[in-house]
Amino acid sequence: MVTVSMTVNGKQVSGEVEPRTLLVEFLRYNLGLTGTHVGCDTSQCGCCVVHVDGDSVKSCTMLAVQADGSSVTTIEGLAQGGKLHPVQEAFRENHGLQCGFCTPGMIMSAADLLQKNPSPTEHEVREWLEGNLCRCTGYHNIVKSILAAAATMQGAARAAE
Amino acid sequence: MVEKGIGVRVVRKEDQRFVTGKGRYTDDINQPGQAYAYFVRSPHAHARIVSIDKASAESMPGVLAVLTGEDCAADGLGNNVCGWLVKSKDGSPMKMGPHPLLAQGKVRYVGDPVAVIVADTYQQAKDAGEALEVEYDVLEPVVSLADAHDAGVLVHDEVPNNLVYDWELGDKAAVDAAFAKAAHVSRIDLVNNRLVPNAMEPRAAVGHYDPGSDSFTCYVTSQNPHVHRLVMSAFIGIAPEHKLRVVAPDVGGGFGSKIFIYSEECVVTWASKKIGGRPVKWTAERGEAFISDAHGRDHITHAELALDAEGNCLALRVNTKANLGAYMSTFSSSIPTYLYATLLAGQYKTPAIYADVQAYYTNTVPVDAYRGAGRPEASFLLEVLMDQAAREIGMDPAEFRRKNFIPKDAFPYQTPVALVYDVGNYEATLDEALRLADYKNFPARRAESERRGKLRGIGISCYIEACGIAPSSVVGSLGAGVGLWESAKVRFTHTGKVQVFTGTHTHGQGHETTFAQVVADKLGVPYEDVEVIHGDTDKTPVGMGTYGSRSLAVGGEALVKACNKIVEKGKKIAAHMLEAAEADIEFKNGQFSVAGTDKSVSMAQVAFTAYVPHNYPQGLEPGLEESAFFDPPNFTYPAGTYVCEVEVDPATGVVQIVRFVAVDDFGNVVNPMIVEGQVHGGLAQGIGQALLEGAVYDEGGQLLTGSYMDYGMPRADMLPDFEVVTVSGTACTANSLGVKGCGEAGAIGSPPAVINAITDAIGVRVEMPATPEKVWRAIQSTRLARAAE
């Protein structure tokens, strides 16, 4: 067993894990943060996307020990001060989810897209989502949600200027 | 008026928890002392189990139990069952082999569970599973459906030729007579490709035995927890029904695959008692899901359509072979029969139809319902054949369909394949779809594509489906082992809030929202004051669950009936409060009023009075809570027209969907936003079937497409922005809401539209999935053929 320490959703955490423990397993089982899901075993589905040091990462593709010392944000940590992140709000407003299982990964992935590319085209959104599978929505309202979130965030940024 | 009642695009109640990671799925449930199960599965498609030596696994660290089929038998556990008895043409019942929870004597597909290891951690269980010594005597498998009859290999010794049943529907003599006088006959051979459902949440179960109460709880990824409880109790024999609680919490998609009662949930529940009452959890890995979740479709069909000289359909003759896999899954027998051949009339007035279906065992994963279940197979066959016939006689495919439509004044319409369509207006959806797709200007777009070296095609599909299978008396006469009613309970609290309990289950469909809209509308209470509770056999009334697009049409109507009872009782209470005759009380928008006066009391006041009955009608029971059951008189029949436009790159065979228009008639609509979302998802699955999904086995019975690396799933960058329109529909007459099912339409109507578009583009039909390789080869073959001419 090895000890890992990291910041998760702004809190310092540590735990004892087997070296083979994946980051997603550490989040789900050691920390009880079950919002991050596991939908496959080949890093194809993206249900487990979290942010590690600001970038979206499939947490099934990273060992917990590799995240030692990092700052991790999961879906539980995205809303700030009780206010939903604009991407979360847009998914709710635009019916961007049905069963909700892929949703945390989709939202975390989309939030990273919009911090890297604040006003993506529909085509760019669809290409970015290539690593996230959804079986319910046909992606239609997910794409719509992300474009709506981009517009909201752009509007908020302009208002702040 | 209720602000968020029927017909309003209300944002979903359930989404707050899902977008914040607070959903509670089965694998999120962890209990003190929880142990973990790993299933050891057969690596062979067909083999005799010579011996299982438990010792090496039992001695591994953390192992609590190693259990096999022999242990199940020793404990008197029953076999898994198929709930629909189909009879062959000669009247004999279908032939079935036993389906034990864990293999006994033989394994019959790669993935067949052989043993379960229960250990302190999942990794320990898995490591011990690797150590379990199972000796197999490997047998020749029968993998191919086409060869199943004459393979000389039997999946089950008691089922000759692997033939489960040879079933028929329709008037064969009338069809033969019609063909004899036909001016033209179109013939087709096609395959409906085998699919893996792939709900994003893998199946999971947590079983827990409580020695104190001698009762069991099973958390499971189920679309129908009450059906799970029934089968686990009455057939498997884990516990009497009143000693077994089944909870289906948030479920991450089902699409049919979570209807069925699988071995794993039964085994972990039983195993919890075997280890003294510690909870036992199992969660499928995705690779495991591929070889243990029931697959869908898998038909081989030959069909013939007879036309007269004017292009009227005279008769349809269909022969289908259906693959049922290695065991009969829960509803498998009904899919290629009563949910398939009954839909072969489509939207057309073809007077004579005959279908016969041979269903076979093979050494593959069991096959059962997957989104649409039988109806996509019927729709695909019919709509591809209609297109081919139109081309052969030189008619426009849209006009050929229009000519053969059941006219809108012909309803109710008795088809030659058992169903009675209650309402419909097929020209309306066709016209709207053609208009939206700009059908008449397609030639100009094709010419523009040609200038860029691309092949453009347009394809139409006019689907119909049957949802909310009913009534129970009819399905019972056809072999169903259960009734197909639904139940509901509506409860007011002291403070005027409403709890709604339903026997249906939502796993993406948004019942927590739409059912609240219905109840708010019917009772005139704020939508925010209504909470929908489902998925727990201890909390909700009995129910049959969610599948076949039945929830609103059947479960929603049960809710309406319960609401009506609430209003009736409320009138008695209000009459007393208002010192008026009950007959003079009117109920509207949440207010009980005395007709012709301004005297009224609100629903909340009535509810409070019902629970604080200090001044109350004599003889009336206190409380305001009502239950209702609904057994519909008929199916609902959603229908519509889908138009797909594709552009094919002849250099690569890549098909790009440039436009997809879906126009549906779902009758009345409760929440258009949710209905459109259901169509979007169905379209993606149907387009997935048409373009890239397909379960492929090698000759030895190994599933070659056993992961997301190998099984093509539709991704965001291969789908277009859909144009989905719900027309002002023909209200269904089988329920007072006038609603029809909407969950499967997209998956039913889209594959033929896509394939017809590709055929239109390249001049030859390819089998699904129309992968770039297949399309490219088809283009080359037509070019070679042209060059040779």
Asked whether residue B284 falls in the same domain as residue B303, the answer is no
B32 reaches A (C-beta below 8 A): no
State the pLDDT at residue B656. Answer: 98
Predicted confidence (pLDDT) at residue B415 exceeds the cutoff of 90 = yes
| Phi, psi torsion values for B136, nearest 5 degrees | -115, 145
A129 contacts in B (CB within 8 Å)? Answer: 715-717
State the pLDDT at residue B253. Answer: 97
Cβ contact, residue pair A133, B708, below 8 Å: yes
Cβ contact, residue pair B201, A101, below 8 Å: yes
The answer to whether position B326 is within a domain reads yes
CA A60 to chain B, closest CA, distance in angstroms equals 12
The 8-class DSSP code of residue B295 comes to B
Cβ contact, residue pair B714, A138, below 8 Å: yes
B721 reaches A (C-beta below 8 A): yes
Asked whether residue B309 falls in the same domain as residue B281, the answer is no
Residue in B375, B357, B262, B434 with CA at minimum distance from that of residue B743: B375
Predicted confidence (pLDDT) at residue B783 exceeds the cutoff of 90 = no
Instruction: For residue B727, name the pLDDT band (cuts at 50, 70, 90).
Output: confident
Cβ contact, residue pair B19, A36, below 8 Å: no
Instruction: Give pLDDT tens digits for B624-675.
Output: 999 999 999 999 999 999 999 999 999 999 999 999 999 999 999 999 999 9
Cβ contact, residue pair A99, B201, below 8 Å: yes
Asked whether residue B128 falls in the same domain as residue B162, the answer is no
Q: Where in chain A is the domain with CATH 3.10.20.30?
A: 2-78
The answer to whether position B408 is within a domain reads no
The answer to whether position B22 is within a domain reads no
B200 contacts in A (CB within 8 Å)? Answer: 37, 39, 45, 47, 99, 101-102, 133-136
Segment 638-657 of chain B within 8 Å of chain A by CB? none
Asked whether residue B46 falls in the same domain as residue B131, the answer is yes
Asked whether residue B762 falls in the same domain as residue B700, the answer is yes
CA B434 to chain A, closest CA, distance in angstroms equals 22
The answer to whether position B743 is within a domain reads yes
A100 reaches B (C-beta below 8 A): yes
Instruction: Give pLDDT tens digits for B318-356.
Output: 999 999 999 999 999 999 999 999 999 999 999 999 999
Instruction: Give pLDDT tens digits for B459-482.
Output: 999 999 999 988 888 888 889 988
CA B510 to chain A, closest CA, distance in angstroms equals 7
A58 reaches B (C-beta below 8 A): no
Cβ contact, residue pair B716, A142, below 8 Å: yes
Instruction: Give pLDDT tens digits for B281-307.
Output: 999 999 999 999 999 999 999 999 999
User: CA A93, A99, A105 angle in degrees (round to 5)?
Assistant: 75
Q: What share of chain B is helix, strand, coil (3-state, %, to 5)?
A: 30, 25, 45
State the pLDDT at residue B446. Answer: 98
The answer to whether position B477 is within a domain reads no
Asked whether residue B427 falls in the same domain as residue B493, the answer is no
B200 reaches A (C-beta below 8 A): yes
CA A94 to chain B, closest CA, distance in angstroms equals 8
What CATH code is carried by the domain that includes residue B210?
3.90.1170.50
What CATH code is carried by the domain that includes residue B574?
3.30.365.10
Cβ contact, residue pair A37, B715, below 8 Å: no
Please name the member of B253, B680, B709 whose beta carbon is closest to the beta carbon of A44: B709
CATH architecture of A86-160: Orthogonal Bundle (1.10)
Asked whether residue B460 falls in the same domain as residue B522, the answer is no
Residue in B299, B196, B361 with CA at minimum distance from that of residue B696: B196
Asked whether residue B171 falls in the same domain as residue B67, the answer is no
State the pLDDT at residue B315. Answer: 98
Residue in B173, B244, B706, B510 with CA at minimum distance from that of residue A97: B510
Instruction: Give pLDDT tens digits for A80-123.
Output: 998 999 999 999 999 999 999 999 999 999 999 999 999 999 99
Domain count, chain B: 4
Identify the CATH assignment for A2-78 out of 3.10.20.30, 3.60.15.10, 3.40.50.300, 3.30.420.40.
3.10.20.30
Segment 6-35 of chain A within 8 Å of chain B by CB? 18, 20, 28-29, 32-35
Asked whether residue B663 falls in the same domain as residue B523, the answer is no
Please name the member of A39, A40, A84 whose beta carbon is closest to the beta carbon of B19: A84
Asked whether residue B564 falls in the same domain as residue B545, the answer is yes
Average pLDDT over residues A23-35: 97
| Phi, psi torsion values for B411, nearest 5 degrees | -90, 150
Asked whether residue B283 falls in the same domain as residue B334, the answer is no
CA A159 to chain B, closest CA, distance in angstroms equals 26
CA A16 to chain B, closest CA, distance in angstroms equals 15
A140 reaches B (C-beta below 8 A): yes
Please name the member of B252, B287, B681 whose beta carbon is closest to the beta carbon of A137: B681
State the pLDDT at residue B381. Answer: 98
The answer to whether position B9 is within a domain reads no
Residue in B230, B88, B239, B222 with CA at minimum distance from that of residue B163: B88
Full-model pTM: 0.97
Asked whether residue B614 falls in the same domain as residue B509, the answer is yes
| Chain mean pLDDT for chain A | 97
Question: In angstroms, rounded to a whole number, what is the distance separating the alpha carbons of residues A56 and B750?
Answer: 34
Residue B9 to residues A52, A136, B6, B674, B735, Cα–Cα distance (Å): 37, 19, 9, 8, 22
Residue in A125, A93, A96, A89 with CA at minimum distance from that of residue A109: A125
- Using DSSP's 3-state secondary structure scheme, residue B463 falls into strand
State the pLDDT at residue A160. Answer: 85
Average pLDDT over residues B391-399: 98
Question: In angstroms, rounded to a whole number, what is the distance separating the alpha carbons of residues A102 and B598?
Answer: 53
State the pLDDT at residue B1. Answer: 64
Predicted confidence (pLDDT) at residue B15 exceeds the cutoff of 90 = yes
Please name the member of B20, B287, B677 whose beta carbon is closest to the beta carbon of A88: B20
Instruction: Give pLDDT tens digits for B22-37.
Output: 999 999 999 999 999 9
Instruction: Give me the domain span that covers residue B696.
Output: 419-466+637-789
Say how far residue B302 (Cα) sits from the centre of its chain: 25
Residue in B744, B768, B750 with CA at minimum distance from that of residue B259: B744
The answer to whether position B619 is within a domain reads yes
Q: Where in chain A is the domain with CATH 1.10.150.120?
A: 86-160
Cβ contact, residue pair A99, B200, below 8 Å: yes
Average pLDDT over residues B241-260: 98
The answer to whether position B25 is within a domain reads no
Instruction: Give pLDDT tens digits for B584-610.
Output: 999 999 999 999 999 999 999 999 999
Cβ contact, residue pair A139, B684, below 8 Å: yes
Residues in Cβ contact with B620 at an 8 Å cutoff, skipping those fewer than 6 apart: B569, B572, B573, B613
Segment 600-629 of chain B within 8 Å of chain A by CB? none
Is the ipTM above a cut-off of 0.90?
yes
Average pLDDT over residues B357-366: 98
